[in-house]
Amino acid sequence: MKRKNIYRIVITLIIIALSTSSMVHGQPPGPPGGHGLNGHQGAGGTAPVDGGTLILVLSGLGYGIKKAVRAHLQRMSKK
């Protein structure tokens, strides 16, 4: 019974710690002085995203193909 109570107390403390940690963050700093001279720019400015996205998708596709081939070869070797 004592172990069960300690378990409940630990879980409760973890939940309280996680829920209150989101409240301690301050406000983000304001934009720099020259921000928005050419109209409103979103966060990140005009940084290109397409190259990194392409690399991420291609590496994920390659990894998936590798795993599929390896699983197929293992199934074939068991037969």
- Whole-structure pTM value: 0.40
The answer to whether residue 58 is domain-embedded is: yes
Q: Residue 69 is part of which domain span?
A: 50-79
* pLDDT, tens digit (0-9, with 9 covering 90-100), for 53-65: 888 899 999 999 9
Residues 34 and 65: their CA atoms lie apart, in Å, by 47
The answer to whether residue 69 is domain-embedded is: yes
The answer to whether residue 22 is domain-embedded is: no
Sign of CA dihedral 58, 59, 64, 69: positive
The answer to whether residue 78 is domain-embedded is: yes
The answer to whether residue 39 is domain-embedded is: no
Domain total in the chain: 1
* pLDDT, tens digit (0-9, with 9 covering 90-100), for 15-52: 888 877 666 666 777 766 665 566 665 666 666 667 78
